[in-house]
Structure 1
Amino acid sequence: MDFKPFSPDEARRIVQSLQKPAVYLNMTKDWPSLNWTVKHLSSCLTDRIRFRIGKRTEDRAPLFETECSYIEATLKEFLHWTANDGESSAGPFSDCEFREFWAYADYKYIAQLFHDKPAMFQDVVWSDFGFPGRDGHDSTLWIGTQGANTPCHLDSYGCNLVFQIQGRKRWHLFPPDDTACLYPTRIPYEESSVFSRVSVVQPDLKKFPAFRRARAHTVILQPGQVLFVPRHWWHYVESLDPVTVSVNSWIEMDIDDEARVQEALTKTIVCALKSPPSSDNDDHWLNPTEERVSSHDENMQYLNLAAKACMDKTRDRTEDGTLLAGSGKRDSSGLLKTLASDFSFVIPFGPHLIPVNCEVHLAHKPRCTCPKDTSYSRGYKDPSLCQTLSAHIECKGEPGCDGELLESSRLRAHQEPGSSDRREAGVHISTNDMIECLAHPDVIALITRLLMHRQRELHQ
């Protein structure tokens, strides 16, 4: 076996300690999946799979999955289309000029694709990163052409390890504290994903002025490299080469149960507002990754289960959130003993572990000083939740502060072309306007804290 710069225990310790994206090098040289080129996979997978289709144009608005076309094709048909390079071709892609369109078979579960070839699961060796038993069965496959992209979004919980196999991909990553600058939205709705309304590679700064302050961390991931994406980091991904292949493993690690309550609450609100038929509910609001619209009763059951799990996990904590005496080992400073609190551990950045650095850092610009906590997961700690929310809404700080985002509908009316006509015609609040406010991550965090506070009072 080839030399590995980090043992499995060291690699996992790094993952658990990293607070920013980083790239592992020289960890996959002996992985059989390094040979998973599209040509190789086309001989293993003969069934048709679904490709998402988009135009190779730079737009000032993100191309969400609900706005794309879709084609069912085999990998051999896909390869034939890419090999023509502009010439007309027969088959499923016959109406798509290769130079004008991109195709992406994204988020394909390897366990489903190769259910009849389980031996292939072992070709992806995530155990080298300290996750024993984790392999291709716990991973997804991504195959695309140049220009194929994933809309900018964050994952509500979990972190990601991404193994690049063929071609290169450029990753644009933004820290959780930049959520206010990314203009989050839950339409289209996908459970555990928050999308950005900004086209991060071609931003409309008149419509989204706060994006100027976003701190972009960019990296081009090369074949054989593994990218670590921490929890709640925003990311936009674009393929740079004619054909790209990568494998992604989402890892649920140290998940905050409160985040699950937030997701359940968001789902309940979005489905309640978008499910009933109405004149402005005819858009494609449900992402293709979601199988169906769950009923209100199902969503409330899910919310109650998440709340119960959160309550059960925090019963050994005092009211201010600190652990009760004796519940868990502590270090010399009194903190719960975890790898993350092991301050003696120095992350070994060097030739085998490269940090993804900030490309644009505008932190020197003044930020709004209104009372807030912009981290998606932390919510607000002020015991007077209603007063905190009220203060946020009243804030009139610089563009991009949370007070402004909570009035996003009002701002768009002033910023978008033709807004003067709309003001003269009177106020029009759509269902999506309501969702953007009610399901804003900061508002959901506040409501979650209020709900859990009331539940604790009832069960004291």
Structure 2
Amino acid sequence: MASKPFTPEETRSIVQSLQKPAVFLNMTADWPALQWTVEHLSSRLTERMRFRIGKRTADSAPLFETDCSYIDATLKEFLCWTAKDGESNVGPFSAYHNKEFWAYADYKYIAQLFQDKPAMFKDVVWSDFGFPGRDGRDSTLWIGTQGANTPCHLDSYGCNLVFQVQGRKRWHLFPPDDTSCLYPTRIPYEESSVFSQVSVVHPDQKKFPAFRRAQVHTVTLKPGQVLFVPRHWWHYVESLDPVTISVNSWIEMDMDDEARVGEALTKTIVCALKSAPSLNNDDQWLNPTEDGVSSHDENMQYLNLAIKACMDKKRDNTEGSSLHSEQPRVGSGKRDYSGQIKTSVSDQSPSFVIPFGPHLIPVICEVHLAHKPRCTCLKDTSCCRHNDFLLCQSRPQSQDKPDKDEPRGENEYCQSLGQHAYQETGSAGTSDGPAGGAGVYISTNDLLECMVHPDVITLVTRLLMCRQRELNS
């Protein structure tokens, strides 16, 4: 077996330095998990697992997990259903024609799936990426049919490494700066995810006008390749082949204590408002991935613990810097859950250059293709491709600056929210809304969209922290 293009230490440095998505090639050829076809797994996994079912449509609204159907079936039944040409009479799948519906076994924790076969954990070798001891136990398995998809969302914590095993998946990624263009929502609620109200593949441009400025980065991930998704990058994923399998590992290498407080605050607000009896509070707001609704007391306890942990760490860092003001304190800085010091981008050597080339491909913005920019490839060609990934990194500056009179995304977001509230009532007043007057009805979800807006959560988090400092001074 030929040596890998990067050592574990080099790969970890790359991952810690990347600010945009990128694809690693030629790193997994010797991973046993590359042989995890559905046929192979169906012989190893005989217990039933939950599949999410969705209809193959081109709607201008996202299909959230709360809107899907769910069945329990074995992988053998799943394999038989996918093999049927125009038939659906396969056990639990009998109600779903395989030409009209897709199926997805997603978020399956490998530690639970193979708890009686721990040797299979070693088939996934994340240690090659500079994370010693990390393997299948720290990963999730995703098995789907063509059309299976994950709604566009961002993960609140950490970053992701995605290993494609079988079939191809198309990734649509958006940078954190595009958040206002994606109309974020916390309904359905999932603790570590923020969803987009936009169907990014079939967007409703009239309802979501700011989306036209979103900078979509697309890539088709193939078997053996590993995609790195940085923290807070939005992503929508769709399966392209009859059967696809991928293994995801969520890396908490850039966890932020203030972000923990923000998530605890968000959960407290969402659960408090959505758990309250109300005429317009009857939607399926809790994502199926959540175990259940926590009580207000539990959420407040979690919020207090998050604030205390953040305060303690800030105090430790302050005391350490004052005691050793002349010398940097060894071991200071942020740590991950295992207690290891986290290396930030600024910790890297100024001379460190990310080695893009045939073994590491940047995921580019689609606008690059549309405007045919100057190519900055490593190869001496005018516009070259390696493994179907275009190695261009430039973008016209005019795309970065909107026209002088063009409304900003945040304003359009607010306008859209108000229009949405008005359209829901369809009149200047309803039986459960205000009588007469301005013709605007604010629902619980409308209120939540404003209260848990990232800027609002950040402000309230800092106010809470300031209050605690004053009380403890």
Using the size of structure 1 for normalisation, the TM-score is: 0.87
**Are residues 293 and 149 of structure 1, via their aligned partners in 2, closer, same or farther at CA, if it must alter by over 3 Å?**
same
CA RMSD of aligned residues (A): 2.6
Deviation at 1:247, TM superposition (A): 0.2
* Cα pair 2:21 2:363 within 8 Å, conserved: yes
Q: Decide which of 402, 414, 418 is 2:410's aligned counterpart.
A: 402
Deviation at 1:314, TM superposition (A): 1.6
* Cα pair 2:103 2:145 within 8 Å, conserved: yes
Provide the secondary structure at the position in 2 that maps to 1:314. helix
Deviation at 1:401, TM superposition (A): 3.3
Partner of 1:446: 459
Partner of 2:21: 21
Q: How many residues align?
A: 426
Q: Decide which of 428, 437, 448 is 2:441's aligned counterpart.
A: 428
Provide the secondary structure at the position in 2 that maps to 1:360. helix
Partner of 2:385: none
Counterparts in 2 of 1:21-100, with a 5 A limit? 21-100=21-100
Provide the secondary structure at the position in 1 that maps to 2:315. coil
Distance 1:359 1:275 in 2: 42
* Cα pair 2:207 2:416 within 8 Å, conserved: no
1:345 matches 2:352: yes
**Are residues 222 and 453 of structure 1, via their aligned partners in 2, closer, same or farther at CA, if it must alter by over 3 Å?**
same
Distance 1:2 1:352 in 2: 13
Distance 2:105 2:67 in 1: 16
Matching residue's letter, 1:405? Y
Deviation at 1:409, TM superposition (A): 3.1
Counterparts in 2 of 1:57-456, with a 5 A limit? 57-315=57-315, 325=325, 326-328=327-329, 338-341=343-346, 342=348, 343-360=350-367, 364=399, 366-367=401-402, 398-406=406-414, 408-413=416-421, 416=423, 426-456=439-469
Distance 1:408 1:440 in 2: 15
Provide the secondary structure at the position in 1 that maps to 2:52. strand
Matching residue's letter, 2:352? F
Task: Give per-residue Cα distances to partners, 1:238-292, cap 9 Å, x unaligned.
Answer: 0000000000000100211111001000000000001122211111100000111
In structure 1, the gaps of 5 or more residues are 331-335, 370-396
**Are residues 318 and 399 of structure 1, via their aligned partners in 2, closer, same or farther at CA, if it must alter by over 3 Å?**
farther
Distance 1:105 1:309 in 2: 36
* Cα pair 1:329 1:337 within 8 Å, conserved: no
Provide the secondary structure at the position in 1 that maps to 2:51. strand
* Cα pair 1:22 1:228 within 8 Å, conserved: yes
Provide the secondary structure at the position in 2 that maps to 1:161. strand
Deviation at 1:70, TM superposition (A): 0.6
Provide the secondary structure at the position in 1 that maps to 2:133. coil
Matching residue's letter, 1:280? N
**Are residues 322 and 257 of structure 1, via their aligned partners in 2, closer, same or farther at CA, if it must alter by over 3 Å?**
farther
Partner of 1:10: 10
* Cα pair 1:66 1:188 within 8 Å, conserved: yes
Matching residue's letter, 1:260? R
Structure 1 residues 1-10 or 420-429, which shifts more?
Answer: 420-429
Structure 1 residues 38-47 or 439-448, which shifts more?
Answer: 439-448
Distance 2:198 2:323 in 1: 40
* Cα pair 1:328 1:337 within 8 Å, conserved: no
Deviation at 1:121, TM superposition (A): 0.4
**Are residues 303 and 367 of structure 1, via their aligned partners in 2, closer, same or farther at CA, if it must alter by over 3 Å?**
farther
* Cα pair 1:181 1:400 within 8 Å, conserved: no
* Cα pair 1:274 1:281 within 8 Å, conserved: yes
Deviation at 1:458, TM superposition (A): 2.2
Distance 1:286 1:435 in 2: 14
Task: Give per-residue Cα distances to partners, 1:372-393, cap 9 Å, x unaligned.
Answer: xxxxxxxxxxxxxxxxxxxxxx
Task: Give per-residue Cα distances to partners, 1:322-366, cap 9 Å, x unaligned.
Answer: 998345479xxxxx9945112211000000000000113796364
Deviation at 1:90, TM superposition (A): 2.9
**Are residues 195 and 400 of structure 1, via their aligned partners in 2, closer, same or farther at CA, if it must alter by over 3 Å?**
farther
Sequence identity (%): 75
Using the size of structure 2 for normalisation, the TM-score is: 0.85
Matching residue's letter, 2:461? T
* Cα pair 1:368 1:401 within 8 Å, conserved: no
Provide the secondary structure at the position in 1 that maps to 2:9. helix
In structure 2, the gaps of 5 or more residues are 332-340, 369-395, 431-435
Distance 1:299 1:149 in 2: 31
Provide the secondary structure at the position in 1 that maps to 2:241. coil
Distance 2:345 2:400 in 1: 31
